[in-house]
Amino acid sequence: MARSVTPQRKAINTIAAWAVGLVIFFPILWTILTSFKTEAQAINDPPLFLFFDWTLENYAVVQERSNYMRFLWNSIIIAGGSTVLGIIIAVPAAWSMAFVPSKRTKDILLWMLSTKMLPAVGVLYPIYLIFIRMGLLDSRAGLVIVLMLINLPIIVWMLYTYFKEIPGEILEAARMDGASLKEEILYVLTPMAIPGIASTLLLNIILAWNEAFWTLNLTAAQAAPLTAFIASYSSPEGLFYAKLSAASTMAIAPILILGWFSQKQLVRGLTFGAVK
């Protein structure tokens, strides 16, 4: 029997859900609002909510002072490149784990995930030294590789979960039909897993876009993405909250828009396997 929900209860639930949503969204909203204030208004006490002199001055200054497009371009290449590269490597890996598992498959999956539990700073030195040796410091290629490796366990895990849902008989049919392993993965498995691959792609672009530890530590000027762009405005010598906010808003805008339009896909992707 379906549980009956009274209108009052429904109203309370709705209000509570909106409240939680607003609390979560508030920092982002505040950042965006602050970006339209003057520096004086930004640190006004009591804080100003909506009634201040809206200005675009901060954006103009930020735009003038730094080359936003270059940071944006770096972000796109690093986030997109690492995700695509990761997926190319993860599809065959997830295929073998989902369809020809061995006794150790579960252990390997857990071991891969365990690497995510290591604090990143723990391997900063070795990675930094390797980067110097290989001349990868402050290069986009280096960051693509590092971010790909960092997100690979998540990509493999997600794809593995999606692949598990695909009936093995269809792949066997492809094998009977004369498909080689490559053709089986390319023409049968991948098209069937497109929704899952798309969610994986989106989530990992977001993760890579927001990654700040490695992008800040391994870049200087050439390969610096938007995280570095934000960081350059949080200077210890002065409090330029409005400009920092404007820079932040510019940095998160692309990913926020991407996330907004793909939220259905993202939610579906993240709950895949949990509900059937």
Partner 1 sequence: MGRITLDKVTKSFGATEVIPPLDLTIEDGEFTVFVGPSGCGKSTLLRLIAGLEDVSSGQIRIDGNDATMVPPAKRGLAMVFQSYALYPHMSVRKNIAFPMRMANMPQEEQDRRIDAAAKALNLTDYLDRKPGQLSGGQRQRVAIGRAIVREPSAFLFDEPLSNLDAALRVGMRMEISELHKKLATTMVYVTHDQVEAMTMADKIVVLRAGHIEQVGSPLDLYRAPRNLFVAGFIGSPKMNFIEGEEAAKYDCHTIGVRPEHITISGSEGAWSGVVGVSEHLGSDTFFHIHETGLAETITVRADGEVGFKHGDRVYLTPRTDMLHRFDTKGLRIDA
Q: Give the interface segment with partner 1, choosing from 78-86, 153-161, 182-190, 264-272 (CB under 8 A).
A: 182-190
Site string for partner 1, 108-147 (x = CB under 8 A): ----------------------------------------
Conformation bin of residue 225: beta by default, left when phi > 0, alpha when psi is -120 to 50: beta
Q: What angle do CA 67, 73, 74 make, to 5 degrees?
A: 95
Number of residues interacting with partner 1: please give it, by CB under 8 A. Answer: 18
Look-up: residue for tokens 């936003």? Answer: 68
Which residue type is seen at 263?
Q
What distance in Å separates the CA atoms of residue 198 and residue 266, rounded to the nearest whole number? 9
> Which residues within the stretch 187-226 sit at the binding site for partner 1 (CB under 8 A)?
187-188, 191-192, 194
Classify the C-alpha dihedral 214-219-220-223 as positive or negative: negative
Interaction between residue 164 and partner 1 (CB under 8 A): no
Between 188 and 251, whose beta carbon lies closer to partner 1? 188
Q: Does 172 bind partner 1 (CB under 8 A)?
A: yes
Residue 174 contacts partner 1 per CB under 8 A: yes
Q: Is 179 in the site for partner 1 (CB under 8 A)?
A: yes
What's the min distance (Å) between Cβ of 134 and partner 1? 41
Q: Compare residues 192 and 258 and give the one whose CB is closer to partner 1.
A: 192
d(CA 154, CA 201): 11
The number of beta carbons lying within 10 Å of the beta carbon of residue 225 is 28
**Considering only CA atoms, which of 238, 235, 230, 239 is closest in space to residue 212?**
230
The nearer residue to partner 1, 85 or 171, going by C-beta atoms, is 171
Q: Which residues bind partner 1 (CB under 8 A)?
A: 167, 169-170, 172-180, 183, 187-188, 191-192, 194
